[in-house]
Amino acid sequence: MSEPASETGADVFDVVVVGAGPAGLTAGIYASRGRLKTAILERNMAGGQIALTDLVENYPGFPEGISGFDLSQKMKEQAEKFGAEMREIEGVSELRSDSEGRYVVVTDRGEIHARAVILAPGVEPRRSGIPGEAEFIGRGVSWCATCDGALYRGKTVAVIGGGDSAVEEGMFLTKFAEKVYLVHRRDELRAAPIAQERAFANPKFEFVWDSIPRQIDGAEMVEALEVENVKTGEGRSLPVNGVFMYIGQIPNTAWLKDTVELDEYGYIVTDDLLRTELPGVFACGDAHANPLKQIVMAVGEGALAAVQVERYLDALEGPQEGAKDAAGEGAAAAGTQR
Ligand code: NAP
C-alpha cells in the first residue's frame, strides 16, 4: 500500500487499530501480514482482559490451557513480527476525519493519521458503586484475582457475581485464600456448567445466594462485606480481607458516542462485515455488539475486520495490477490464507 504523508507531514498509516486485546492484536497480525502499514494503540499493556486471566482453557490448540498473559504476549509478538507498530500506554480520546478524507486518531501523545481504522477498545469491569468500593481500592477491593490473589494467602475473600469471571476467578483465589464467599444475587449461577461443577466441588467455596453487596467496611484495610438477602431483606456481615468484583463489564466506548453508532449498553454497532457507518472504520471484539464474548470470537472478528480494511483500501485505490503480486499477498488472497 502507498503511504503518502498527510498535509501536516505526519506519517499516514494504512490502518490504525485501537485496542490490543485478542481482537485488536489479531487484526494487527492480519493487516500487517497483508502488507498494510499498521499501528496498534493500547492505553494499557497489550492483552486487554485476557492478560489478567490466570488460565485460558477454551482457546483451541492449548489442551492443557495457557495463561492469558502468555497468550496475549504471543499474539503481540506475532503482530510485531509481521511489522505492526505496537504502541502501548497510548490512549485514544477521539476519532475524526481530516481534510484529505482520512482519519485522525487523537491520542494522549499526539495525532495519528490513518486511511482506515479498526476499533477494538474492549471492555472494563463494571463497578458496583456501593459504599467502600472506591475507598478500598488497593486496600482489599480488586477486579483482578490474577494480579492480587497471592496477597490473600490464608485469608478470606468475597467474590461478587455469578458469571464465568466470578466463578473462574473465585476458583483461582482458592489457590491462596482459606475461604472464598461467592455472593450472587440469584440462586443459580450464570457461569458455564464445567466452571460451576468445579466450584461446587471445591470445599473452600461458600455460596451466599440471593444476596447483593451493600457496603464494604474496614479501618486501614477491608475487614467486612455487608450483604443483603434480596428475598428476605436480611443483612449479613461477611468477615473478609478482600472483595473481588465480577458483576459484568462495560465497553470502553464513551469517547465514541458522538462518532459511531452505539447500542443502548454502549457496544459498537456494525453490519455483518463489521462496518460502522463511517466508511473505512470497522469494529471488533468485546466492545462490538456481538452475541459471544469469547477469545475465539474476538480473534475471528479481528481477522475479518483486517480483511475488510484490505478490501476497502483496494476499492479506494482501484485496480493496481502487479502492485500486490510483488508483495505476494493480495486482498483476495488474504481472505483465504491460513
Ligand atoms: P457476566 O456474564 O455479565 O456476569 C455478571 C454477573 O454479575 C452475573 O451473574 C450477574 O447476575 C451479576 N451482576 C450483574 N450486575 C450486578 C449487580 N449490580 N449486583 C450484583 N450482581 C450483579 O460477566 P462476566 O462474568 O464478566 O463475563 C462477561 C463475558 O465474558 C460473558 O459473556 C462470559 O461468558 C465471558 N467470559 C468467558 C470466560 C470463559 O469462557 N472462560 C471467562 C470469563 C468471561 P445475573 O446472573 O443475575 O445476571
Q: Ligand 1 atom 36: the closest Cα is on which residue?
A: 164
Rounded to whole angstroms, the Cα distance separating 17 from 305 reads: 10
Average confidence (pLDDT) over 249-253:
97
Q: Are 62 and 15 a contacting pair, CB within 8 Å? A: no
Give the position, in ligand 1's atom list, of the atom nearest the Cα of 126.
15
Q: 310-318: long-range contacts at Cβ-Cβ below 8 A with a sequence spacing of 24 or more? A: 310/31, 310/34, 310/36, 310/334, 311/335, 312/116, 312/279, 312/280, 313/1, 313/14, 313/15, 313/36, 313/115, 313/116, 313/280, 316/115, 316/280, 317/1, 317/2
**Whether pLDDT at 324 is above 50:** no
Rounded to whole angstroms, the Cα distance separating 237 from 219 reads: 15
pLDDT of residue 322: 42
Q: How far is the CA of 111 from the centre of ligand 1 (A)?
A: 36
Ligand 1: does its nearest atom lie under 6 Å from the Cβ of 164? yes
What average pLDDT is seen over the chain? Answer: 92
Q: How far is the CA of 66 from the centre of ligand 1 (A)?
A: 22
Sign of the alpha-carbon dihedral angle for 207, 212, 214, 215 = positive
pLDDT of residue 119: 98
Beta pairing, strands 211-218 & 205-208: unpaired
Distance from the first to the final alpha carbon of the chain: 21
Domains of the chain are 12-125+249-335 (3.50.50.60), 141-245 (3.50.50.60)
Q: Please, which pLDDT band fits residue 4 given cuts at 50, 70 and 90?
A: low
Q: Please, which pLDDT band fits residue 10 given cuts at 50, 70 and 90?
A: low
Rounded to whole angstroms, the Cα distance separating 158 from 143 reads: 12
Beta-bridge mates of residue 141: 137, 243
**Whether pLDDT at 334 is above 60:** no
The pLDDT tens digits of the residues spanning 198-215 come to: 999 999 999 999 999 999
| Mutation to probe ligand 1, out of 53, 165, 188 (largest number of atoms < 8 A from CB) | 165
Q: Are 76 and 50 a contacting pair, CB within 8 Å? A: no
The pLDDT tens digits of the residues spanning 51-87 come to: 988 899 999 999 999 999 999 999 999 999 999 999 9
Cell numbers representing residue 260 in the block:
459511531
Beta-bridge mates of residue 225: 216, 238
Ligand 1: does its nearest atom lie under 6 Å from the Cβ of 170? no
The pLDDT tens digits of the residues spanning 111-155 come to: 999 999 999 999 999 999 999 999 999 999 999 999 999 999 999
pLDDT of residue 329: 38
**Whether pLDDT at 8 is above 70:** no
Q: Please, which pLDDT band fits residue 225 given cuts at 50, 70 and 90?
A: very high
Ligand 1: does its nearest atom lie under 6 Å from the Cβ of 67? no
Which 8-state DSSP code applies to residue 48?
G
The percentage of the chain sitting over the pLDDT mark of 70, rounded to a whole number, equals 91
- Which residues, in sequence order, are CB contacts of 287 under 8 Å at separation 6+? 19, 119, 120, 121, 122, 123, 251, 252, 253, 267, 268
Ligand 1: does its nearest atom lie under 6 Å from the Cβ of 214? no
Q: Ligand 1 atom 30: the closest Cα is on which residue?
A: 293
**Whether pLDDT at 169 is above 90:** yes
Q: Ligand 1 atom 34: the closest Cα is on which residue?
A: 164
| Confidence (pTM) | 0.89
Classify 47 in phi/psi space as left (phi over 0), alpha (psi -120 to 50) or beta: left
284 is catalytic: no
| Mutation to probe ligand 1, out of 247, 294, 296 (largest number of atoms < 8 A from CB) | 247
CB atoms within 10 A of CB 306: 29
Q: Are 86 and 207 a contacting pair, CB within 8 Å? A: no
Q: Please, which pLDDT band fits residue 99 given cuts at 50, 70 and 90?
A: confident
Ligand 1: does its nearest atom lie under 6 Å from the Cβ of 161? yes
CA dihedral 302, 10, 12, 22 (to 10 degrees): -10
The pLDDT tens digits of the residues spanning 269-291 come to: 999 999 999 999 999 999 999 99
Of the residues 70, 98, 144, 217, which is catalytic?
144
Beta pairing, strands 222-229 & 123-125: unpaired
Give the position, in ligand 1's atom list, of the atom nearest the Cα of 249.
26
Alpha helices in the chain (DSSP H): 22-33, 68-81, 145-148, 164-173, 193-201, 295-317, 323-327, 331-334
Ligand 1: does its nearest atom lie under 6 Å from the Cβ of 28? no
The pLDDT tens digits of the residues spanning 36-59 come to: 999 999 999 999 989 988 899 999
144 is catalytic: yes
Q: Are 185 and 163 a contacting pair, CB within 8 Å? A: no
pLDDT of residue 54: 87
Rounded to whole angstroms, the Cα distance separating 51 from 188 reads: 28
| Mutation to probe ligand 1, out of 164, 214, 294 (largest number of atoms < 8 A from CB) | 164
Ligand 1: does its nearest atom lie under 6 Å from the Cβ of 168? yes
Rounded to whole angstroms, the Cα distance separating 105 from 43 reads: 13
pLDDT of residue 317: 87
Residue type, 145: A
**Whether pLDDT at 333 is above 50:** no
